[in-house]
Amino acid sequence: MEPSFRLCPNCGAPAGPWLKEHEFWCRACGFRYFQNVAAACGVLIEHQGEYLFLERAREPSAGLWGLPGGFVDPMESLEEALSREIAEEIGGEVEGLEYLNSFPNRYQFERVTYWTCDVYFKAKLVSSPKSLRPEPSEVTRILWKKASEVNPERLAFASLRQLWLSLSGPLLSR
């Protein structure tokens, strides 16, 4: 793992070697920093045999397909984060969240690498598909795809490709 910074955030001394891949200790002032994993979540929504994907409007992975979801804010549960993200990204609402799987991931934003644990759920759409509206700063368009129409190479993140490949057999056999 690459260090997150070159200078100690506490005293400004040059950052020496990390004790572990995720632990920094400054020899000059004794400051300790742990590079913890950020929580992120996404939801797979199925409606009448098709799955909802969002074409990403911005980097990372602009133009590729993602799911509604995103980072979990401080003091927010996974469920609250999903509800907020779905409302923000497409103006929708879901119910009946069911855990699917989680995968480690790497999210490169600008010049910072965020190590994440991406947690995926499935859910039922409460909103009408016709009422969904993409937030232009986040989503170029909403796509409804049959499982057989999804090319894993079009999926925005390694964790989402892992999820899709783990589910594709059961999804395609329906």
**Per-residue pLDDT tens listing for the chain (174 residues):** 556 678 999 999 998 778 887 888 899 999 998 889 999 999 999 999 999 999 999 999 999 999 999 999 999 999 999 999 999 999 999 999 999 999 999 988 887 788 999 999 999 999 899 999 999 999 999 999 999 999 999 999 999 999 999 998 776 555
| Helix, strand, coil share (%) of the chain residues, nearest 5 | 20, 40, 40
Domain-located, residue 173: no
* Residue 172, pLDDT score: 56
Q: Give how many domains the chain has, as a whole number.
A: 2
Same domain, 72 and 111: yes
Alpha-carbon gap, residue 7 to 12, rounded angstroms: 5
pLDDT of residue 170: 72
Same domain, 65 and 138: yes
Q: How far is CA 8 from CA 19, 32, 113, 120, 133, in A?
A: 14, 9, 18, 35, 44
pLDDT of res. 117: 97
Q: Domain containing 31: what range?
A: 1-36
Sequential DSSP letters for 63-94? TSEE-SEEEPPTT--HHHHHHHHHHHHHS--E
